[in-house]
A and B are shown apart, each in its own frame.
Chain A
């Protein structure tokens, strides 16, 4: 009997993990797709928004989000070169070395003229929400201000932009997603990067992007489901491209497959904040699902994944510049993806593929 138990135990261990269900096709309104993100998620939110300006109505950038911030050069042949050192230096801790907003706007215009991103004119109808805390020592406030200036330079009207910059009644926000009551201390800068500052960031950003909403409801435990992300990657190991195997989606009551008219909001976690890093802490504590439940907003939570040089086979000397050890979204061209800012970027393609699926378009 003991041997039978051991045999069955070994059989269970040997069985591959059950594959996650595919992302459902939900018929969300394609004209009401918005995106938000924290830190690296903010940079990716801006990348997705600016690359697909015709398909995304607005973006919320929290503690990050300056498009093209890590770009070293875009040469005459159209080759983009980016640096980790620019990402970790000027874009995060040393904003005095940032370029003028017009330089980043010029980069976006050149990519748009080449057809690598949507025409920047499409941003004229966009909405933007930006947040930076005055105790954020990871991504300094000036980077967020420069991102707002970039959006202005690209034609987003001032009246379509809402910025929160500084302290809150609940304290001095550090580097994290701010909430009314969940998470750690307001100035904290540690996983899960959800900070209690007595401020409903989720409500503020969703109302900035969608206009006035019904009062927030109560998220249903069963509304948050997981899905397999592999089909949205380019094939091969997902991790090499910084993509997780499993994503999550919050589907409010009444937004199932046959219920059109729901909105879609894509929420992107920050570095060290993915499912594999902090479990469901970010997904369940950020407050978005409560607002989603009472306002027919589907919230999509795609997942990035950490990678190391061991994920590149065969090994190359340049692998050290292409790893993603903290599970960030790709905003400096890791994974040998020099197209990361454009519609052809591996992660931008994956995210757009998910948006297409949830809005009932694409495959």
Chain B
């Protein structure tokens, strides 16, 4: 394979890794969102006490549930970003070595 061909293959590998990570993240988000218990609505007040407490309880539950869901979504994104960054880092190091070999060969210096 020519030098250009090898570099092209490396770039295609980078692209494939990115696409795979994106797809994985999307699948995770879709899976997670299949189970979004609807955020709670305030129950109709039955008496004066519940008229005060119900909206506060509902807001508290919504906050806790929304936060839990947000944490999960953020973690999916964070994990996939870290995985992609790790893949790209590794492939970039490979590409640099490839370049070193190409430049040394072009200069007639061997590896």
Interface residues of chain A, those whose CB is within 8 Å of chain B, are 72-73, 75, 81, 83-86, 88-90, 93-94, 96-97, 99, 103, 316-318, 320-321
Q: Kindly report which residue of chain B lies nearest to residue A73, judged by CB atoms.
A: B31
Q: A88-B71, A317-B85 are in contact. Are A96 and B76 (CB under 8 A)?
A: no
B12-43 residues with Cβ-Cβ distance < 8 A to A are 24, 27-28, 31-32, 35-37, 40
Q: A89-B68, A93-B64, A94-B65 are in contact. Are A72 and B32 (CB under 8 A)?
A: yes
B41-81 residues with Cβ-Cβ distance < 8 A to A are 61, 64-65, 67-69, 71-72, 74-76, 78-79
* Complex Cα gap A104–B83 (Å): 27
How distant is B75 from chain A, measured CB to nearest CB, in Å?
A: 4
* Complex Cα gap A140–B89 (Å): 41
Chain A CB count within 10 A is highest, among B31, B61, B68, B78, for B68
Does chain A have a CB within 8 A of B86?
yes
How distant is B95 from chain A, measured CB to nearest CB, in Å?
A: 18
Q: Does the CB pair A81–B86 fall under 8 Å?
A: no
Chain B residues, Cβ within 8 Å of A86: 72
Q: Does the CB pair B28–A96 fall under 8 Å?
A: no
Q: Kindly report which residue of chain B lies nearest to residue A83, judged by CB atoms.
A: B75
* Complex Cα gap A203–B49 (Å): 43
Chain A CB count within 10 A is highest, among B27, B61, B75, B85, for B75
Q: Kindly report which residue of chain B lies nearest to residue A321, judged by CB atoms.
A: B79
Chain A residues, Cβ within 8 Å of B32: 72-73
* Complex Cα gap A89–B65 (Å): 8
Chain B residues, Cβ within 8 Å of A103: 35
* Complex Cα gap A5–B31 (Å): 66
List 10 additional A-B contacts (Cβ < 8 Å) besides A85-B72, A96-B61, A317-B83. A72-B32, A73-B31, A75-B27, A83-B79, A85-B71, A85-B75, A86-B72, A88-B71, A93-B68, A103-B35
Chain A residues, Cβ within 8 Å of B74: 85
**B76 CB contact (under 8 Å) in A83, A89, A90, A318:** A83
Does chain A have a CB within 8 A of B104?
no
Chain A residues, Cβ within 8 Å of B27: 73, 75
**What are 25 A-B pairs at a CB distance below 8 A?**
A72-B32, A72-B76, A73-B28, A73-B31, A84-B75, A85-B68, A88-B71, A89-B72, A93-B64, A94-B65, A94-B68, A96-B37, A96-B61, A96-B64, A96-B65, A97-B36, A97-B69, A99-B35, A317-B85, A317-B86, A317-B89, A318-B79, A320-B82, A321-B78, A321-B82
* Complex Cα gap A94–B61 (Å): 9
Q: Does the CB pair B86–A316 fall under 8 Å?
A: yes
Give me the 5 closest cross-chain CB pairs, A-B, nearest first: A89-B68, A85-B71, A73-B31, A317-B82, A85-B72
* Complex Cα gap A75–B28 (Å): 9
* Complex Cα gap A85–B85 (Å): 21
How distant is B79 from chain A, measured CB to nearest CB, in Å?
A: 6
Q: Does the CB pair B37–A97 fall under 8 Å?
A: yes
**B75 CB contact (under 8 Å) in A73, A75, A99, A321:** A321
* Complex Cα gap A84–B79 (Å): 11
Chain A residues, Cβ within 8 Å of B82: 316-318, 320-321
Q: Kindly report which residue of chain B lies nearest to residue A76, judged by CB atoms.
A: B27
* Complex Cα gap A200–B76 (Å): 42
Q: Kindly report which residue of chain B lies nearest to residue A91, judged by CB atoms.
A: B68
Chain B residues, Cβ within 8 Å of A93: 64, 68
* Complex Cα gap A316–B81 (Å): 12
B77-99 residues with Cβ-Cβ distance < 8 A to A are 78-79, 82-83, 85-86, 89
* Complex Cα gap A93–B60 (Å): 13
Q: Kindly report which residue of chain A lies nearest to residue B85, judged by CB atoms.
A: A317
How distant is B97 from chain A, measured CB to nearest CB, in Å?
A: 17
How distant is A210 from chain B, measured CB to nearest CB, in Å?
A: 37
Chain A residues, Cβ within 8 Å of B85: 317
Q: Does the CB pair B28–A89 fall under 8 Å?
A: no
Q: Does the CB pair B78–A72 fall under 8 Å?
A: no
* Complex Cα gap A96–B65 (Å): 7
* Complex Cα gap A90–B36 (Å): 11
